[in-house]
Structure 1
């Protein structure tokens, strides 16, 4: 985060607040929303560092028992230091940040004491902007050799693409060369120096999240985008990549639609990593927050949705910005006072004329309570499983615990209306006992827990989050172990899927993920299955499960995502290119080749935008039209045998720009080049 602009105050007053629970119960009303939960659709397994938050050097509460206790109670397991843009001016040896503010009576050891009291792993940002590789290596030596802190995760810099190279400068950078090439080269030097001190550490490089600036932009003199350049040049030495996500939104309602972009954004980032680094690399999300309703319920709902969505896609840590930040622009959101503060906890400060003051120091804001629900929901060792609803105002996430319990997180993003959710389970039968439900409602002082509803139906108050934990009805015997990681060999219409054998299963079943209820693709007593009649150019995510002779079902395998190709020797070939991108739009070009021996007199090329946030602005060299997400490009002249033609367009996007890969010419699927 650009802390130059967003740090409101560092004057903090001492106080604490108690969370006072309330109770609520009652039979659910008639259901108006359907939710599906499917344990056969396995997603990522939660790691020990999943739930995180930022802790900054300008925070006078750094490492205090009061703050450490609150973070521990919320289930925080990773703390990032020294905080945002300050990381690129901070010098750990003398605990200074020239041009910035450092809280008195704090230092790196203060932070580490707080992290240990919290029970959290540190993530440390080495100073790229004004530091050196030697300074970073000395920090590793002090932390892990001198003090034996066993600090594993080290990121090189913060938002370093904000150094002016792309026209916007907020991040300190003393390097004469501001390019991603220089950043990548320096990352290699840092990683080598730091790992020479402690080869067990993990080093991360800064990337940009697909769909967020400057994603897609190629700077002057560069061979590719920031991500492409960094991954190509430094991908062999790093252990993880570090991204931030501030998706914006002019209203709370718009902000709360943004989590729907997560799956595509993470998929694109994973594609970039594989394409440019040539291997899988872990992903950390070390900053996220909202612009509307930061301290009130929109921030809480966003936090719950985003942490769940990112962790389900395999991001190994998600970290809120920030523990404390300070008073901003005060407004009223959903009937509650919002202080415009990016912090989880109140800074206890006032505006310049003392007409508006925050609650007492360390009073938890609404996102803190959402974080505490996430800490209870997504525990280390849990596996996210398929979950979804038929109403965009209600989100559903679910995990299967190692003991067989299933926890479901329901988020009502409707500020005005309650919704009753009918819960449908697949591969799992819950106990008939009334479940205990933990709820955080709009304006509440904290999370309340009480028996409520049934396993099959829950009523959600407006703007609320509910966590329902369910025991399985069947507990007899020992279920088979989960199959191992599947692999696939893919053509345009088939996929041969294989997986390691597991003990105890009589047969295996393969399921295609479908949001909530998964679709059975086939079953076998072997360890491979060929699936036919797939759609060309479509992304599929599948899991395998084992079932024993008594019908007991194993946990799901880790997920496998693959994309089918297009026909190898089709009657036409299409190349789609993004030729000039500016971050929310681009100039595109489509090249079409007629591979047949006959001319095509009247031709129309058809494709669909993969997401709802992509659109056509204008086009040339053909007649361009769009209906819903379908685009039609009609030729202005015949296409001769063996000939090629090109047409261009201007497209817009407001999220991850997933390029189309399937094109049909007069109804025939083309080869995509």
Structure 2
């Protein structure tokens, strides 16, 4: 049965907004908490060779009738530029540990075909390889983040890739790069040393992987680039705290700059449910899963603090986002799913959490960019649409490289049966004299009257944008690509030293000082 749940109808929304007047939230700057810069790389993205993420998504080929630059869709280039994406992770994911980079260089007609064993079993022709990706990253103004193959590769293979991409002195790999048309090195900084080594990367124990990591990491460097690489160890799956303990205990600080963490939001991992036709119970469970990111970061960070109290090693959440069953009629290995207001809630609360923990979290990558999981862009032939998640990240981009303003948030509870969650989350920052405050109300039924104490904010006057809709299942479709877009938010007023506003159910509001 499809859910035409009473909570999700427009009539119910109109009724419950009036009830929401009973719920209140007070927000103020926390002068006692430590402030830091919110690293722009928290707003990174992830593009794996998975389903229609690369082929028939980002890359359509130079001979396509769809307007493109070197085979990459122009509309996607524009959309990602507008989003100011700071970094892009490639080629995986699980795909990375079956990818041999030399298959994707040289004349395209001479490149071998491969079978994507992880995702759908489809054949790929390697027409999108290292040069294509690094050219795209340069076009976007994004830092490339390359994931190396430890699962089925060799030390020399990854060492050669670093030399091919970054080599300055004359060597066989830099000569090969020049032969293939790239004279100057790309100087790629961010490198993943394997991916999910506890699973698709090789089903390794952390102790075994830590030693393997030490070997690979050692041979990635030379006298020219040893201080330029940012090497990221394959990190824990959700709450595997022992994995993080071993990474921090067994890998010398001089060989590691970051430790990864992967955690997705879902209602039930075994039965993830539909991306659009979900119930109140499923929505609540997904929000509970998303909000758990705060606990995960705190506990993994506490372990890292034992070995690295100066926080020199970053926590890199390079896979996060909502994960549901694939859209009906699509290849189950392609992980194509729609993107609703539920996903906007996931994006808003997760980014607020990352901002608050930006002393340790210094990079994160939403999974994934186009046509896969919680994508910011969906395509269908020549058509392209921007998802609610895209619009949240576009409003939040003002936090990139801004000074965090720690917040105290007194939030009402969002209740479902016997469980409760905090309804309101937020983060604030200041950059170039402009203050940005991002607020999320995840309550699917009730609005919240929020009062922001402005006494400790430099800025006193704000305008606001809102992302909301009539039903929490609402989404942008190719027939209605702009059903959900940011709109001016007028339900805001200033009273003495306080800013008063009403947050509708399941909404994201971003305030900007003027």
Name the CA shift for 1:363/1:448 in 2 (closer, same or farther; >3 Å).
same
CA distance in 2 between counterparts of 1:278 and 1:380 reads: 23
Please name the residue that 1:322 is paired with: 368
What is the aligned counterpart of 2:449 among 417, 420, 424?
420
Q: 8 Å contact 1:295–1:366 — kept in the other structure?
A: yes
CA distance in 2 between counterparts of 1:363 and 1:103 reads: 27
Name the CA shift for 1:384/1:76 in 2 (closer, same or farther; >3 Å).
farther
Determine which structure has the larger strand proportion and give its number: 1
What is the aligned counterpart of 1:242 among 248, 260, 273?
260
CA distance in 2 between counterparts of 1:195 and 1:391 reads: 51
Deviations 1:369-392 (A, max 9, x none): 12212213x121332421413224
Name the CA shift for 1:64/1:144 in 2 (closer, same or farther; >3 Å).
farther
CA distance in 2 between counterparts of 1:208 and 1:193 reads: 24
Q: 8 Å contact 1:259–1:309 — kept in the other structure?
A: no
Please name the residue that 1:181 is paired with: 207
- DSSP 3-state at the match of 2:389: helix
* Residue 149 of structure 1 pairs with residue 186 of structure 2: yes
CA distance in 2 between counterparts of 1:278 and 1:406 reads: 30
Please name the residue that 2:244 is paired with: 227
How many Å apart are 1:31 and its aligned residue?
7.2
Please name the residue that 1:453 is paired with: 492
How many Å apart are 1:348 and its aligned residue?
2.2
CA distance in 2 between counterparts of 1:239 and 1:366 reads: 33
Stretch of structure 1 that moved more, 266-275 or 238-247: 266-275
Name the CA shift for 1:148/1:413 in 2 (closer, same or farther; >3 Å).
same
CA distance in 2 between counterparts of 1:278 and 1:428 reads: 30
Please name the residue that 2:136 is paired with: 114
CA distance in 2 between counterparts of 1:263 and 1:244 reads: 13
CA distance in 2 between counterparts of 1:270 and 1:206 reads: 16
Please name the residue that 1:125 is paired with: 147
Name the CA shift for 1:84/1:67 in 2 (closer, same or farther; >3 Å).
same
Deviations 1:538-583 (A, max 9, x none): xxxxxxxxxxxxxxxxxxxxxxxxxxxxxxxxxxxxxxxxxxxxxx
Query: Pairwise mapping of residues 503-542 of structure 1 onto structure 2 (< 5 A)?
Result: none
Name the CA shift for 1:194/1:104 in 2 (closer, same or farther; >3 Å).
closer
How many Å apart are 1:194 and its aligned residue?
0.8
* Residue 271 of structure 1 pairs with residue 310 of structure 2: no
Determine which structure has the larger helix proportion and give its number: 2
Name the CA shift for 1:451/1:93 in 2 (closer, same or farther; >3 Å).
same
How many Å apart are 1:279 and its aligned residue?
6.4
CA distance in 1 between counterparts of 2:25 and 2:392 reads: 23
Q: Which one scores higher on RCO, CA 8 angstroms, separation ≥ 6?
A: 2
Please name the residue that 1:295 is paired with: 339
Q: 8 Å contact 2:147–2:194 — kept in the other structure?
A: yes
* Residue 304 of structure 1 pairs with residue 312 of structure 2: no
* Residue 313 of structure 1 pairs with residue 357 of structure 2: yes
Backbone CA RMSD of aligned residues: 2.6
- DSSP 3-state at the match of 1:257: helix
Query: Pairwise mapping of residues 565-580 of structure 1 onto structure 2 (< 5 A)?
Result: none
Please name the residue that 1:441 is paired with: 468
Name the CA shift for 1:384/1:319 in 2 (closer, same or farther; >3 Å).
farther
- DSSP 3-state at the match of 2:454: strand
CA distance in 1 between counterparts of 2:125 and 2:487 reads: 35
Name the CA shift for 1:194/1:361 in 2 (closer, same or farther; >3 Å).
farther
* Residue 191 of structure 1 pairs with residue 217 of structure 2: yes
Stretch of structure 1 that moved more, 149-158 or 262-271: 262-271
How many Å apart are 1:33 and its aligned residue?
1.6
Name the CA shift for 1:273/1:209 in 2 (closer, same or farther; >3 Å).
farther
Please name the residue that 2:27 is paired with: 36
How many Å apart are 1:263 and its aligned residue?
3.4
CA distance in 1 between counterparts of 2:457 and 2:85 reads: 30
Please name the residue that 2:289 is paired with: 258
CA distance in 2 between counterparts of 1:74 and 1:286 reads: 18
Name the CA shift for 1:244/1:172 in 2 (closer, same or farther; >3 Å).
closer
Query: Pairwise mapping of residues 64-103 of structure 1 onto structure 2 (< 5 A)?
Result: 64-95=73-104, 98-100=115-117, 101-102=123-124
How many Å apart are 1:259 and its aligned residue?
4.2
Please name the residue that 2:197 is paired with: 160
Please name the residue that 2:406 is paired with: 385
Query: Pairwise mapping of residues 577-596 of structure 1 onto structure 2 (< 5 A)?
Result: none
For structure 2, the 5+ residue unaligned runs are 1-19, 60-71, 105-112, 118-122, 168-173, 175-183, 269-281, 325-336, 415-422, 475-482
CA distance in 2 between counterparts of 1:189 and 1:317 reads: 24
Query: Pairwise mapping of residues 460-499 of structure 1 onto structure 2 (< 5 A)?
Result: 460-471=503-514
- DSSP 3-state at the match of 1:439: strand
CA distance in 2 between counterparts of 1:66 and 1:50 reads: 24
- DSSP 3-state at the match of 2:249: helix
Please name the residue that 1:4 is paired with: none
CA distance in 2 between counterparts of 1:241 and 1:464 reads: 33
Q: 8 Å contact 1:209–1:243 — kept in the other structure?
A: yes
CA distance in 2 between counterparts of 1:31 and 1:373 reads: 28
Deviations 1:243-290 (A, max 9, x none): 111143241112213344333322221222243568631111111112
CA distance in 1 between counterparts of 2:95 and 2:198 reads: 15
Name the CA shift for 1:113/1:392 in 2 (closer, same or farther; >3 Å).
farther
CA distance in 2 between counterparts of 1:277 and 1:402 reads: 29
CA distance in 1 between counterparts of 2:233 and 2:314 reads: 11
CA distance in 2 between counterparts of 1:98 and 1:412 reads: 44
Greater Rg by CA: 1
Q: 8 Å contact 1:39–1:400 — kept in the other structure?
A: no
Name the CA shift for 1:262/1:421 in 2 (closer, same or farther; >3 Å).
same
CA distance in 1 between counterparts of 2:229 and 2:219 reads: 11
Q: 8 Å contact 2:95–2:116 — kept in the other structure?
A: no
What is the aligned counterpart of 2:435 among 395, 402, 406?
406
How many Å apart are 1:204 and its aligned residue?
1.0
CA distance in 2 between counterparts of 1:76 and 1:400 reads: 18
How many Å apart are 1:439 and its aligned residue?
1.3
